[in-house]
Structure formats: C-alpha cells, structure tokens
Structure 1
Amino acid sequence: MSKPASTTSPSPVTSLSTRTSDPVDERKFVVALARGLDLLRAFRPGETLLGNRDFVERTGLPKATVNRLAYTLTVLGYLRFDEALGKYALDAGVLSLGFALLSGTDTLELARPHMRNFAREVGAAVSLGCRDGLDMIYLETIRSETALTLGLASGSKLSMLTSSMGRAYLAVQPADTRAALLDELRRAAGDEGALLVAQAQREIDRYASEGCCYSFRDWHDDVNAVAVPFSDPRDGRLLVLSCSGPASSMGESVFRERVAPRLKALARRLGDSP
C-alpha cells in the first residue's frame, strides 16, 4: 500500500524559518504573496480540480482569505474557475512558470544525457530534484526501458521524511536548520510524525560515513531508492540525484553495492560537494 507522497505546506505565518534554508527577514516577507503561492501548492500530482474547502483544509487559511486569494489568482491567469463544478484548476500562468524554470536550468540540460546512460546501465529510474517547502519536487525523471518503478514525473512531489531525496537534502543542512525542519515535518505528519522522523534520522546519520541516503520501502511498499546531494556549480543551488527501483527485484544490497557508488560518481561529475 502506498504511503503519502507529500506533506501539506505549513502556514507562512507560523513557520517562516522552515520554508527555506536561508534566514527569513519577516520585515521583508510578504505574507499575502506566500499565502497565494500556498494555494497553488495545494494541488497534488494527478489532481485537476480543487474547491475552496480543499484549499482551507490543506493551507489552514480562513475561508474568506481563500476566496480572495483564489479570485485574485484567477484574474491573473494562475487558476481557472469551473462554474459548473464550483472548483478551481491550474491555468496557463502556472505552466508558463514551470517551463521557464526547466528551460533555464542549464544543469538539467547537462545532466540529461548522463542520467539517460545511468538509467540504462543500472536498469532503473534516475531523478533530479530540489526542495519545495516540506517536499522534494522532481525536475526530471529518466527510466530505463526495463524499469518498473512508479510513474513519477516532472512536478511530482515526495515528502522529505520518507524519500531518499528528502533525507539527502536534510543530511547536508546546518544542524539548526535541519532540527527546525524535522520538527516542522514531525508536526505536519500528525500521529505518525515521531516514527517517520526517527526513521529519517537513522538514514541522515549514516550520510557522514556513506555519502548518500537510502529509502528502503519507506515511501512505497515496493520501491527502494538512494539519493546523493550536490551543489550546482553555477549558482550554488542544492540539487539531489536519486535512483529508484522495485524492491522485489532490486534489494538493499543492490543499491548499497552497485547503485550507490555509481550515483555518487555521477553527482561528482555534475556538481560540487554540498
């Protein structure tokens, strides 16, 4: 049975310090803008329509605030309102921003041929991602012809706690930043938060000796994965490479002995150590 792919983003008012790895100056932080972006982030992979009730539940914002934000985003072309269903869909404005990001990512262009060769060599899926709130968002995924992993694609999100990609990101954060993030992730995960944080912490602790983080059946019952972080040499942005495959045919030993060394070598070719 699948485990939750991502967590709900926290309110910008209560957790400014956990939304980014950089210090946040509250005097310059525009709360209204952050709330509007939280509405856009409320959409999950595969979802096309959300109503005001969905926005309220996922953002924690008052209904009146959600109404105003949704109306504004509709006027600006980031949301489209379906009057027949009384729900909102993402509109072309969001799509144009996504294309601008991907087309402007030189590292992604450089990484694609290496990722393609890697996927073919190990017979699995290899992905490149970065942080988005309390989740990791996939910028690109390339699969080998024989890979039988889940259909995660560009724009898909996974929780930092259960994904190898998220754990690798957390592993290279300053201790105080990591502690704040783990606390926020624990609260966002609800009743299972303490257990999930403990599982993630074990993998994070191994990063110093192994140079990578694993997720063995943690975010999906039949998926194993390993991830390695690196810094983009052009702008210093922290990116993460991951490789995933079916646990039924690619066990832990395969990832530790065969996949991880190759993935670490690929990360060194693409960027700098974080």
Structure 2
Amino acid sequence: MSEFNDASPEFLDTEALSDHPQFASTLAHGLAVLGCFAGAGTTLGNKDIAERLGMTRPTVSRLTFTLMGLGYLRRDRSGKYSLGLAVLTLGYPLLSQMTIRQMAAPEMMELAQYARGPVSIGTRDRLQVVYVETVQGREVSSNKPDIGSTRPFLRSAIGRALLYALDPRERTMVLERLREAQPDDWAKYRVPMELAQRQIAEQGFCVVEGEWSPSYSGVGVPLRQPVHGMPMALNLTVPAYATDREHLEKNLGPRLVSLVRNIESKLGSEAA
C-alpha cells in the first residue's frame, strides 16, 4: 500500500492551504522563487521574479539573498540569478534511494533501442507526473524527458497509467483536484482517461496518440505495487509518423508490459 493520508495538505486548494494555521508563508515564498527557474537555462533578476510572483522587490531581494547564501541560487555579473548546485544536493538523496532506476536500466535500454524512442519511469508529484529516470537508445529524440521533467495526468500515457497505479482513495482525491484545478483538460480528456483505465485493466497498458503532443504516440504501464512507498508507471514514447495503432497495441504495449513484469519480479526478489 502507498503511504497516503487523505488529509494531506497537498490536496488543499491554494486558498485553503495559505489560510491554514500551520502554513509557513516565508518558506512557501522562497520555494516559489526557486520555482521561477523551472525552464532550462533560466536567469532572472529581482524585478523579473517580483513581477512573476506578484511580490514586492524588497521581499524578493531578501529571499534571493538568503537562497544565494544557502547555495540554492547563484548570481552572475549582470546581477541576475540562476539555480545553484545546492538544488542538486537536495534532490540527490531521493534519487539515490530509487534502486528501481538501476535495476530497470538494462531492459529499458533494450526496449528503447528496439522501439527507437525513450523509455521512462514516473511517479506522482501533486497533480502531475514527474520523471525519475529516462533511457534512450542510439536514436536521438527531442522528446527525451530529463529527470525532474513533468507530464500531465489526464492526457499522457504515463499519467493515465500512474492514475491506475494509485491507491483508490488517493486516485479519488487526485481526480477531484484535477477536476477543480484543470477544468478544460477535465472536460476534454476525462472520457479518454476512463477508457485508458479500462484498457489497462484488460491488457495491462494504455495507448495515447497525439493527445499529449500531436507529434508523438505512447504506451503506459503501471507497476502493480508501490516502489519505495511511491506508485510508479513506465511509458514508451515514439514519433507518431513511425507507428500506428496496431503497432502500439500488438507490439510495443505488450513489450512494455513484459518489461514491467520483469521489474516487478526483480523487486519482489530483492525484498524477499
């Protein structure tokens, strides 16, 4: 069973969370500053950050000073900031405990080379999927998701597979929050998402063609038990021009299911 508490603050909406007596606003503001640097190669000044977050420049200046002193930001000669290396040291312990990454890598590489597309592992970060590993074969893909990159739940193969992997109570809470927070996506993709849940129940995988991106198709497979206390799923993504529905359903989907079952077997042996 995954470690899930339906009273978790991550399921409070923004207003309810910020009004909670245990909410630490200064910490939240500091993390919001770091969140401004999510784009690759992003550099921002205090004015840029203040405008993005709706904060005063003196407040932002105090936050960036503190974050720079702790190593989470660094400043260039122009006075603008970018992420510092302490961000890596913060995330490394979490990644290092995920032994599934090393265990699954050889088979992920074999499938990636066969399919000519990246194979990835993802888990849940609030209302999105976050990738914790990606393996790519000799084919270079602009779609290769780096560790830490995210995908939407409702319209991606890995998102729909991960929804299936969630504890039923957790799934109910996530779906409710998605309905509230992403009403447009909910209206457009709820039915395909529900069809994907049935496809996984029947075949072990789901197929997405062009719903996350018109240029790519993918298959997703959930792990049947949490790993390191976290629900996880795998996906395989290939260019839409290089495949069709039959190839996804008759070939790539079953191959990814076989890969996941082998991983589950290895994890079971490791735990025994």
Does structure 1 retain, via aligned residues, the 8 Å contact 2:163–2:171? Answer: yes
How far did residue 90 of structure 1 move? 1.0
Q: Find the partner of 2:213 among 217, 220, 234.
A: 220
Partners in 1 of 2:264 and 2:27 — Cα distance? 32
Distance 1:169 1:265, change over 3 A: same
Q: Look up the match of 1:264.
A: 257
Confirm whether residue 77 of structure 1 aligns to residue 52 of structure 2. no
User: What whole-Å deviation, never above 9, does each CA across 1:89-133 have from its counterpart, x for those lacking one?
Assistant: 111101223333333322111111111112123332211122223
TM-score (norm 1): 0.75
For residue 241 of structure 1, what is the aligned residue in structure 2? 234
Provide TM-score, normalisation by structure 2: 0.76
Q: CA RMSD for the aligned pairs?
A: 3.4
State the AA in 2 paired with 1:183: E
Q: Structure 2 matches for 1:58-97, cutoff 5 A?
A: 62-63=55-56, 68-82=62-76, 84=78, 87-97=80-90
- Report the Cα distance in structure 1 between the residues aligned to 2:252 and 2:72, rounded to whole angstroms: 40
CA contact (8 A) 1:45 1:155 kept: no
Q: Deviations over 1:157-201 (max 9, x none)?
A: 212222211111112324443233233334443644422444433
Give 3-state SS (helix, strand or coil) of 1:271's partner: helix
Check if 1:173 corresponds to 2:166: yes
Aligned to 2:118: 125
- Bigger Rg, structure 1 or 2: 2
Asked if the contact 2:200–2:221 (Cα under 8 Å) also holds between the matched residues in 1, the reply is: no
- Which structure features the higher share of helix residues? 2
**Please, which runs of 5 or more residues in structure 2 have no aligned partner?**
1-7, 14-19, 268-272
Letter matched to residue 100 of structure 2: T
> 5+ unaligned residues in a row in structure 1: which ranges?
1-13, 20-25
Amino acid at match of 1:156: S
Instruction: Provide Cα deviations, 1:197-220, integer angstroms capped at 9, x if missing partner.
Output: 444333234332232233211111
Task: Provide the secondary structure at the position in 1 that maps to 2:220.
Answer: strand
**Contact 1:125/1:149 (8 A) holds in 2:** no
* Aligned mates of 1:161, 1:265 — CA distance in 2: 24
